[in-house]
Amino acid sequence: MRAKEALNKMDSKQGDNLILSETPDGGFRVTPDKQSFAEQMAVAEEIANGNRNALNEVAK
């Protein structure tokens, strides 16, 4: 697979951050930086903690 094809498959575009990590077999893995996902999860956790009673009622 060519680099451009791989970037398209990862839905990456110019300016996105990519993470290069070594695999146990000595190869490399390139993954998109999911910082925006981490930020979204932090907001979701904050909302969940602030509305714990309401969420418990909905879960019943």
Task: Tell me how far the alpha carbon of residue 18 is from its chain's centroid.
Answer: 11
Backbone φ, ψ for residue 15 (5° rounding): 100, -15
pTM (predicted TM-score): 0.46
Domain ranges for the chain, please list them: 3-59
One digit per residue, pLDDT tens: the chain, 60 residues?
888 888 888 888 888 888 889 999 999 988 888 777 778 888 888 888 887 778 788 888
Check residue 25 and give its pLDDT.
94
DSSP state at residue 56: H
Strands of the chain (E only): list them: 18-22, 28-32
- Grouping H, G, I as helix, E, B as strand and the rest as coil, residue 48 is helix
